[in-house]
């Protein structure tokens, strides 16, 4: 339990909750540092396979940067892992699921874009309104959004600062599923459990290869590149256990 976030472990699933509901879970540097420490612990724990990231309360996942904190002249000195300790965390091979329980604006939306899977409640909305206050989405939004939904839809959001609701976000490919607000955490846990049914070594190799492959200009270059994560997978116990369990018609015993 921290001052600005809560962390809970249940089996192989870690739930991290941004806990500043009084300011719609807006993030200031102390919260970013605390969240970064939570993700550090998640990354280092061999028994933690998947993380769910959500916000406290029913109104907001995160309203983004705490502009009042910034306007008061406080130092803006966040961690090297980026906004909320995740937007510049490029070495995390474990999957992170965003459970979006309301507004995800500015940096809050950039947090969602930095996650691997996103589940939204029906009352969720998304936007990068930075140009409306003379700023820019510099925590990855300018680069992740075009890569995830395509250039024209992304520019339509980026240049206007407009919000999109949960259903439009689903159609655009920003989120994977939309559910009633009361079912959000159960849906996120369902996704986490489905991931945990898979080999954690395979899951992490998959995430790493997808991320590294996107750095190549062509499909052929991506497919012909060498990926250390695949070498690790081939040498793992899971690489043997998976086919063996399939042949024996039993549940695999993943070693991770």
Annotate 101-143 with DSSP letters as a single string.
-SEEETHHHHHHHHSSEEEEETT-EEE--GGGGT---TTTHHH
Split into its structural domains, the chain has a count of 2
The pLDDT value recorded for residue 171 is: 98
Per-residue confidence band for 69, with pLDDT thresholds at 50, 70 and 90: confident
CA neighbor of 125 nearest in space, from 143, 106, 152, 145? 106
- The answer to whether residues 111 and 15 belong to one domain is yes
- The answer to whether residues 174 and 205 belong to one domain is no
The answer, yes or no, to whether residue 232 has pLDDT greater than 90, is: yes
Tell me the torsion sign for CA atoms 29, 31, 37, 43. Answer: negative
Asked if the structure places residue 68 within a domain, the reply is yes
Per-residue confidence band for 76, with pLDDT thresholds at 50, 70 and 90: confident
- The answer to whether residues 16 and 101 belong to one domain is yes
The pLDDT value recorded for residue 70 is: 76
The pLDDT value recorded for residue 256 is: 76
Sheet with 177-179, strands from edge to edge, namely 5-10, 13-18, 50-55, 96-100, 117-121, 177-179
- The answer to whether residues 218 and 177 belong to one domain is no
- Tell me how crowded residue 76 is: count the other CB atoms within 10 A of its CB: 11
- Region for 135 from its dihedrals, namely left if φ exceeds 0, alpha if ψ lies in -120 to 50, beta otherwise: beta
Please spell the DSSP secondary structure of 4-56, one letter per residue: SEEEEEETTEEEEEE--GGGTT-B-HHHHHHHHHHHHHHHH-TT--EEEEEES
The pLDDT value recorded for residue 19 is: 98
- The answer to whether residues 119 and 181 belong to one domain is yes
List, for residues 166-202, the tens digit of each pLDDT value: 999 999 999 999 999 999 999 999 999 999 999 999 9
Of 130, 221, 232, 241, the active-site residue reads 130
The pLDDT value recorded for residue 170 is: 98
34 is catalytic: no
List, for residues 204-230, the tens digit of each pLDDT value: 999 999 999 999 999 999 999 999 999
- The answer to whether residues 33 and 150 belong to one domain is yes
- The answer to whether residues 104 and 160 belong to one domain is yes
Cα 225 from chain centre = 26
221 is catalytic: no
Residue 39 · residue 4 · CB < 8 Å: no
The pLDDT > 70 percentage for the chain reads 100
Average pLDDT over every residue of 38-50: 97
Asked if the structure places residue 233 within a domain, the reply is yes
Per-residue confidence band for 74, with pLDDT thresholds at 50, 70 and 90: confident
List, for residues 96-133, the tens digit of each pLDDT value: 999 999 999 999 999 999 999 999 999 999 999 999 98
Of 110, 197, 221, 224, the active-site residue reads 110
Sheet with 125-127, strands from edge to edge, namely 60-62, 103-105, 125-127, 164-165
The pLDDT value recorded for residue 117 is: 98
Per-residue confidence band for 1, with pLDDT thresholds at 50, 70 and 90: low
Structural domain including 241 reads 200-247
CA neighbor of 223 nearest in space, from 234, 214, 231? 214
């Amino acid at each position: 339990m921290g001052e600005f976030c809560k962390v809970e472990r249940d089996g192989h699933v870690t739930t991290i909750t941004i806990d500043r509901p009084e300011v719609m879970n807006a993030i200031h540097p102390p919260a970013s540092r605390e969240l970064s420490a939570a993700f550090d612990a998640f990354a280092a724990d061999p028994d933690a396979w998947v993380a769910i990231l959500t916000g406290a309360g029913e109104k907001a996942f995160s309203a983004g940067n705490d502009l009042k904190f910034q306007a008061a002249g406080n130092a803006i000195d966040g961690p090297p892992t980026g906004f909320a300790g995740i937007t510049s965390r490029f070495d995390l091979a474990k999957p992170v699921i965003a459970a979006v329980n309301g507004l995800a604006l500015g940096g809050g939306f950039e947090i969602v874009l930095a996650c691997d899977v996103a589940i939204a409640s029906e009352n969720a909305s998304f936007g990068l309104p930075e140009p409306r206050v003379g700023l820019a989405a510099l925590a990855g939004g300018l680069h992740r959004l075009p890569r995830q939904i395509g250039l024209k839809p992304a520019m339509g959001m980026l240049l206007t600062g407009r919000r999109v609701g949960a259903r439009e976000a689903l159609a655009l490919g920003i989120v994977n599923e939309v559910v009633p607000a009361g079912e959000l955490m159960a849906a996120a846990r369902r996704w986490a459990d489905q991931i945990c049914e898979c080999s954690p070594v395979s899951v992490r190799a998959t995430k790493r290869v997808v991320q590294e492959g996107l750095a190549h200009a062509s499909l052929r270059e991506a497919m012909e590149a060498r990926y250390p994560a695949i070498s690790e997978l081939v040498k793992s116990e899971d690489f043997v256990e998976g086919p063996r369990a399939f042949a024996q018609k039993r549940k695999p015993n993943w070693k991770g």
